[in-house]
Structure 1
Amino acid sequence: MKKITTILLLSLSAYSLHGQNFIQAYQTRVNKISQANITANLQGFGNLGVKTTGSTENTNALNWLKAKYQSYGYDPSQITEDSFTYNGNTSKNLIITKTGTVYPNIYVIICGHYDTVVGPGVSDNGSGTTILLEAARILKDVPTEYSVKFVHFSGEEQGYLGSSHYVNNVVFQNNARQLNLKVVFNIDQVGGKIGNSNTNINCESDQSGQTGNNSASLAMTQQLATCTTLYSPLQPTMSNAYNSDYMPFENKGDIITGFYETNRSNNEHTINDTFANVDPVYVFNVGKAALGALQHFAVATTTTLATDDITNEDSLEAIRVYPNPAQDVLHIELPKDQKNFKVEISDMNGRLILNAENEKKMNTSGLTNGTYMVTVKSDKTSITRKIIIEK
């Protein structure tokens, strides 16, 4: 939930990559983020409808999330719920815990809310929700020195109800701290907008509220910005934290940081916050930055594991679909070694409009103006890009 434009805090010259090294094992895992998964989960989140706190749709979203974690192999003992009441209805936060190898009692929290207010909220905050899912999938069997909690909050749109309840009843009990936190990394509204220049991401630090944790938050956010540069194609923009689920943590003195889209869509809290109006490639790139940073914060093993040797399931990631927007012709550019492939163009309802095999030039003169999904499939994988036809 954001209501005002973020403020530029520091220029990129205020930090450097010195002292924070590129780690190949981190990049190898970042490369396992799947554009197909990102796109499918954004669509799945949107299909769950308006997920108002305490509603049936809200509960359905919670169960959808739990099923995802179970499919990734997380044990039921790692999956917990934190219930609270809003307007006489029960809603729940979902917490998935991955225990650290060196500091099991110190936690890195990566979080985002899954409740919405008017529309299906695919950007605010299906985008953050989707990134948490993909990060948890990839890190399932990767040792980290610090414990990690993947936390999906409800009630954010009503003033951080879920995160406040979690902070005051789980992190603290009777004002006594129960969980020691290294950092709280919040991801909220990073869906971008198709047609925008989605090349930057806001890296948010705490420069208000309790001043005692400001310098630590700034230092952590500078590390977040460095990870963004190291592990993603995005450029970091330093900005202030406000109006999201990290605020209850900040009020208790914890160190916070976060991601928020730089070029705002302004579709949040409207019926236009749908899958048709987000940029899945931007979410994919923010996911890369987030996974790189999460490994850094939690100190993931730098040793390449057997599971890391698996070829990126999106072997077609180097694909280019252009121009975008397109008019009468759409070009498909693939890696040189990719010989056999299929191209499908569907409308936003999933209806197949055009298809071809081994064609690198698609005739789109018969398509009306609007947004479409282009899927390129090989024998082992597929990748989807969103395009606009504009004549």
Structure 2
Amino acid sequence: MTSIPLCLPDSITPEQFLNEYWQKKPLLIKQGLPQLVGMFEPEDMLGLALEEDASARLLTQAANKQEGLPQWQLKKSPLVETDFDKLPEQWTVLVQNMEQWSPELGQLWQAFDFIPQWQRDDIMVSYAPKGGSVGKHYDDYDVFLAQGFGSRRWQLGKFCDKSTEFVADEPIRLFDDMGEVIFDEILEAGDVLYVPPKLSHFGVAQDDCLTFSFGCRRPNLMQIIDSLADIATNDSDLFIPMLLPQALQASGELQADSIDAIKDQLLQMLQSERGSDIIRQAVSEVVSKRQYDALIPEETLDTDELMQALSEGATLQADYSNRLLYSQNNDDLKLYANGQRIDGLDAAATSILVRLANGEHLQSQDVMDVDPDELSEWLENGWVWIDYAE
């Protein structure tokens, strides 16, 4: 695949987008992702939703809400053909982790290279016939809504917060009040709409349509705390009891001074060089973890077949359904893949994986200094993907 232009209007630079729009306000990008047009049809997504390993949801909306019953019904995968019998007029099927099923689709993440790849979540596709919707809602993450087939009308309203009230007893988080509508447009195939976190939005299919959601998110503090604890268990010094000042006190009391002294030592450790190393590894492991289990490929190339493909013009690229990244502190560079630190690499292999993590497409001559068996292992692990020459 040739290099993909950034998904931004010609009048807006990446710096402007990050300063003026990112997590602040929406942006319509007309024909921001034309490569998506014609890549899939609705029948493709309906078939994929029935796959045993697919992460899919079928959401149906009753025409008239009955007393005591929810208006919406949700069925999670595995889905079967009979789930699509006698559907109401308004329904939607959602499939997550689309880049796992289509590496070609995953390559479209290149259009969003102005966002660090460790913040990429996954690509979700939404198929709906005319009138289909998932209701008025908001997300806690950034999303680029890319129209791939048909058209969908999008309305955007107010920013939401913890006080936002959801409709009771529904299987998904929905609300009735979007406040003042600040955006009301129909997106055609190839158009992209950026929606920042917590901004209410409501999309309705105008005809049979496919909308691809390129989601971006950051870790939450609980994930980091859990990871810190896991990594800290390997540091024997942290198991040594603390030395704390002692003042005369009632025998049954845990004084605030003691708690403060423990807190101070904890913060001193976290702010030390050792603490920085632990935090760096904890964050790197969290953000490089896959959200979904990897699919086991039906077949893979052996070493000879891989090298033959490269010699014939195929390129080696990072597999966008996996997480390959690196962190660097001065001369100390660490590589991570799918939540694990990669150790034991020589300089040549490290250099190549860094280039792949940065989105480069490498040819045969680029990887001459790397052991072919090691390249084959990367392919088997799912870290890299072969793009064959056309």
Structure number with greater CO (CA < 8 Å, separation at least 6) is 1
TM-score (ref. length: structure 2): 0.28
Bigger Rg over Cα: 2
